Structure 1
Amino acid sequence: MPHTGTTSLDTERLYSEVSHFYARQMQALDDGRTEDWAETFTEDGVFVLHGGHDRAVGRQALAASSSKARAALAEQGIRHRHWLGMLTVDPRPDGSVAARCYALVVATALGGTPVVHRSTVCEDLLVREGTGPWLVKHRQVSRDDLT
């Protein structure tokens, strides 16, 4: 890993901030607060799924897409929970952060047993606007079952 001029303490603080950001972001999504979830992206944020087959650009499109997916799951009586782990954070000279993690999507049918629905890799470019919170500028999610 190249040396970026950050200290171990800086990296630990950054890791903690990004980990906390993801916890709040995924809980908003899983709780159905799609507008709140979309607000964790930049105004022109990009979300690319499945090798580019699904793509949303901008908060309005992100909120609409996640709301539609949530409604489809509710109709089927299924709840999704996202579990992120194996997080790495790499600060860049411009102040942005390249973050990468494994993301499991656990699906539970009402009255059923939780099952791993998908195993993915999530790669984000995180930025701050001024002194505000971290925001996703670009997200690429790759499913393990697709090439």
Structure 2
Amino acid sequence: VWAIDYGAPEDWADVFTPDGVFEAFGGKMQVRGRDRLIAFATDLKRTVPDLHHVTTSLVIDLGGDRARSKSQLNEFMSRPEAIYPNLHGWYQDDLVFGEGGWLFERRQVHVVNPHNTRTGKVGAHFQAFFDACQAYMT
């Protein structure tokens, strides 16, 4: 999360397996593989600068070299006029342990009341991001 918030797309992609998947919009968007993950992180930073993710309440279920985890997600968007709390939800993750340590095989983001991210000032600030996401829809 630090890497995607502070503009290090390659570092964010490094926490995924080579064929890892970032999934959103109820599975309608699946960003698979290092090159696409880097492109997505670059698009996010370009279209929604000063976006910050806060993850808490991490629960991990270990099983050998695999793990499943869940964590709460809150996102905040800093703009000159205000800091906007723009979404609440959770991550659901499948991880594998390998030579590089624990890596995401799949990271799913689930948003509570996703329509709230498309209305008002938050929606206006996010429109360019939603437009960019069309390139990743399945």
Normalised-by-shorter TM-score class: 0.7 to 0.9
1:39 is the counterpart of 2:14: yes
Matching residue of 2:123:
none
Spell out, residue by residue over 1:6-44, the C-alpha distance to the aligned partner (whole angstroms, 9 max, x if none): xxxxxxxxxxxxxxxxxxxx1111011011101110000
Deviation for aligned residue 1:112: 2.8
For 1:99 and 1:114, how far apart are their aligned partners in 2? Answer: 29
Matching residue of 1:143:
111
For 1:81 and 1:112, how far apart are their aligned partners in 2? Answer: 16
The gaps in structure 2 that reach 5 residues or longer are 116-138
Query: What is the aligned counterpart of 2:29 among 50, 54, 63?
Result: 54
Percent identity between the two aligned chains: 27
Spell out, residue by residue over 1:35-59, the C-alpha distance to the aligned partner (whole angstroms, 9 max, x if none): 1101110000011101012210001
Matching residue of 2:92:
123
Larger Rg: 1
SS in structure 2 at match of 1:114: strand
The gaps in structure 1 that reach 5 residues or longer are 1-25
User: 2:113 corresponds to which letter in structure 1?
Assistant: D
Deviation for aligned residue 1:72: 1.2
CA RMSD of aligned residues (A): 1.5
Spell out, residue by residue over 1:77-125, the C-alpha distance to the aligned partner (whole angstroms, 9 max, x if none): xx11100011101102x4211010011111111x232221111110001
Deviation for aligned residue 1:133: 2.1
For 2:61 and 2:101, how far apart are their aligned partners in 1? Answer: 17
Q: TM-score, normalising length from structure 2?
A: 0.78
For 1:105 and 1:89, how far apart are their aligned partners in 2? Answer: 21
For 1:71 and 1:114, how far apart are their aligned partners in 2? Answer: 18
1:97 is the counterpart of 2:67: yes
